[in-house]
Amino acid sequence: MTAVAGNIAAQYLMKSAPAKGDRLMLCATIPIGASGAVGTLVADDPAFTATLNGTGDYTVAFPTSPVGRPGFLQVKSAAGTIKGWGTTAWDATAGTWRFILHNGAGTATQPANGDEIHLSVVLDPRG
């Protein structure tokens, strides 16, 4: 199947005819540049985008779905400065996930140049 930006969930419905409750997992890698800037994403769907909102605070946009949940999120941090993360907002119908990365003390922390954020979202296009 060829991915069309923002349409992968709809294409999945048309081509696969999944039953309600069937899930679709989409994954993305966000490379981090200088000062926590977002590099060019590598993602299952070209509709994935990422925005740096503030120190360690990111919003990811993905294809919308009636039902969905965050999948995994992990940070490949060469210096080991990122010790965890927390979701601050999730909305599958709007296709957005906002999260904050933090250090061992729980303080919002910017990932270093060369770090990567790996994540997935799990969608149920039929609701």
pLDDT digits (tens, 9 = 90+) for 44-80: 888 889 999 999 999 999 888 888 889 889 999 888 9
Reference 81, options 39, 50, 110, 52; nearest CA is: 110
Looking from the CA of 80 toward its CB, the CA atoms found within 13 Å total 1
Helices and strands, number each (H, E), in the chain? 1, 8
Q: Is residue 49 part of a domain?
A: yes
Expressed as residue numbers, the domain containing 34 is 8-124
If you ran DSSP here, which 8-state letter would residue 78 be given? T
Q: Is residue 2 part of a domain?
A: no
How deeply is 125 buried, as exposed, middle or buried, from its count of CB atoms within 10 A (0-12, 13-18, 19+)? buried
pLDDT above 50: residue 25: yes
State the pLDDT at residue 69. 87
Q: Residue 16 — pLDDT band, cuts 50, 70, 90?
A: low
Q: Give me the number of domains the chain comprises.
A: 1
Q: Is residue 29 part of a domain?
A: yes
